[in-house]
Amino acid sequence: MLGNSIYNSIETAKNGTQIPVLKNGKTIESRYNPQNEAQRFTGDITQNDRFIIVLGIAGGTLINSILEKNKDAFILAIETCREDIEFLKQIPLVKELSERSNVCLTCQDDFYNELIKTYIPAFYGNIKIIEQKSWCMENAEAKENILKTMNEALKIVSQDFSVQAHFGKIWNDNIIKNLILSGDIKLNKEIIGNIDNKKEAVVVAAGPSLDSKLKELISNKNKYYIIATDTAYSILSKNNITSDAVISIDGQSVSYTHFMGQKDYSSTLFIFDLSANNSAVNHLACKNANILFSYNNHPLSTFAAKRFEGRFINLYTGSGTVTIAALDFARLCGFKNIRIIGADFSYINGKPYAKATYLDSIYSKNSSRLLSTENQFSKLMFRTPIIKVNNKQFTTEVLLSYKTGLEEYLKAYDSTYTNENSEYKICLKNQTGENKVLLTVNKVFKNSYSFNDFIKEFEQNYSPDALKNSLNDLSEYDICLLPLMSQLKMNENINNESFSSLLNIAYKTLLRYN
């Protein structure tokens, strides 16, 4: 929403404070004593108010009053457009505030992204909203849009926090155990060096439409480089189709079942995210399978990747979808032409997955007269509200978000693509044929690795007694522990502990692996 600034000029209040004047001649702040007025709006600010959204920047007096009450609070202050902010920076106080690390001046267009980027529930706790009353009266429509945007952004943040609260410990355990295992895993780099990226890569997901694609895949399997998602891997194996590569990012123990029962693992490259299920990794390691680790945006994984540069490949997973990770792997291998099959992002003909997934066997074993296999699949599909696509197909908000994430990825890499009958045909325009995965693997064979050194660095550099009043006080070591700390915060026995105490508990949890 780039438009003309709502402000016209700057004048000096009776007490010498510079304040902006609106185009209609009114001012947002008092023309007599803006400080006294601001103090009335901030009288209930406490040290517990750590993340504050301010509607209306104006001359900065309200923001400054908040910081006088709580200097460590993070303030996200909003104006209608970027031009407003640039205009207001002519006022020395606003200019000074814009340079503070715990103040972010933003506009409606950027507010959504800034809120998602800056608000960490585990650290800040609840959000407090403070309104410049006059600003909100003059910008009633803008206020309504901002509050609507805030709710949309907080829904995403809340989902992310819920996932961290649920998986924090699982991820932490898997990352540490996989890091320990990483030093002992042998990888035949020829399996990567021999990748023929002039072929067409086929990313295989496990959606219901995969059933109708298997026959064509079997007839032409030598034509393709097959990259299976972990759930699809077992389906392909049961149909005597050898996957060239398999991607797994799921940390849950059920992932182990995808890799059971195969007789020969030697022709397949297995790519596991560092946070993926360690039991699955360990099972394949015992079978001398070729394993390569990847990492995404989990702070502990990212930290480990920096410390052991080149040892792990960076796969983009979007909102946590293995299909996008498999697509990203194809891109890194240098494939230009890629198909995706089985990525339905919906339930078709009452089926959530193709035949022969792990759920078929689990639900069949648990089947009874009172809880049939069909009932169990229905319970899975209808656990959240559904959205009708047509008479045979329906989806959910989560599945649609995965689809949106995939197509945004394709746009980001300047690709052309079609999507017909649940099959994507993709051309990545800017591919040079370079196999970046092979470049990473060549580094693996050169770089030394020691998990003990990794833990020792934590012990030497982590400061359990350091003040952590603001986000800027957090070191990279603290940030590594935030997902685990999110789960600890949900533990009713310790959830009343301070942020620093919870962080130290997470740190001690990490040390027990040493």
Dump pLDDT digits (tens) for 308-337: 776 789 999 876 789 999 999 999 999 999
DSSP bridge pairs for 20? 10
DSSP bridge pairs for 292? 271
CA dihedral 502, 508, 509, 513 (to 10 degrees): 160
Q: Which position has the token pair 């797994």?
A: 248
How confident is the model at residue 20, as a pLDDT?
A: 92
DSSP bridge pairs for 306? none
The DSSP code for 351 is: B
d(CA 150, CA 139): 16
The DSSP code for 221 is: G
Q: Are strands 103-107 and 74-79 parallel, antiparallel or unpaired?
A: parallel
* 111 touches 77 (CB < 8 A): no
* 160 touches 298 (CB < 8 A): no
**pLDDT per residue over 42-68, tens digit each?**
888 888 888 999 999 999 999 999 999
* 364 touches 373 (CB < 8 A): yes
Pick left, alpha or beta for residue 60 (phi over 0 → left; psi -120 to 50 → alpha; otherwise beta).
left
Phi first, then psi: give them for residue 370, nearest 5 degrees. -85, -20
Q: Across 319-413, where does the E strand assignment appear?
A: 337-341, 347-348, 387-390, 393-395
d(CA 34, CA 18): 9
d(CA 514, CA 457): 12
How confident is the model at residue 380, as a pLDDT?
A: 47
Closest CA to 250 of 197, 161, 326, 185: 326
Pick left, alpha or beta for residue 16 (phi over 0 → left; psi -120 to 50 → alpha; otherwise beta).
left
**Residue 166: count of CB within 10 angstroms of its CB:** 14
Closest CA to 291 of 192, 439, 177, 176: 192
How confident is the model at residue 383, as a pLDDT?
A: 53
Residues 6+ apart with CB under 8 A from 478: 462, 468, 503
pLDDT by position in tens, the chain (length 514): 335 678 989 999 999 999 999 988 999 899 999 899 888 888 888 888 889 999 999 999 999 999 999 988 899 999 999 999 999 999 999 999 999 989 999 999 999 999 988 888 878 888 999 999 899 998 899 999 999 999 988 887 877 777 776 788 888 899 999 998 887 777 888 898 899 999 999 999 888 888 888 888 988 888 999 999 998 898 898 888 999 999 999 888 778 888 877 778 889 999 999 999 999 999 999 999 999 999 988 889 999 888 877 678 999 987 678 999 999 999 999 999 999 998 877 776 656 656 655 554 554 445 455 554 455 444 544 555 666 667 777 677 777 777 888 888 898 888 899 988 789 999 998 888 889 888 777 766 555 667 888 888 888 888 877 767 667 778 888 888 888 888 887 765 676 677 788 888 888 888 777 6
Dihedral sign (CA 301, 303, 304, 310): positive
pTM over 0.85: no
How confident is the model at residue 443, as a pLDDT?
A: 66
Number of helical H runs and strand E runs in the chain:
22, 18
Closest CA to 167 of 20, 332, 22, 301: 301
* 289 touches 265 (CB < 8 A): yes
d(CA 52, CA 185): 48
Q: Which residues of 431-440 are buried (b: 16+ CB within 10 A; e: fewer)?
A: beeebebbeb
d(CA 479, CA 473): 10
How confident is the model at residue 330, as a pLDDT?
A: 96
DSSP bridge pairs for 27? 21
**pLDDT per residue over 139-179, tens digit each?**
899 999 999 999 988 887 877 777 776 788 888 899 999 99
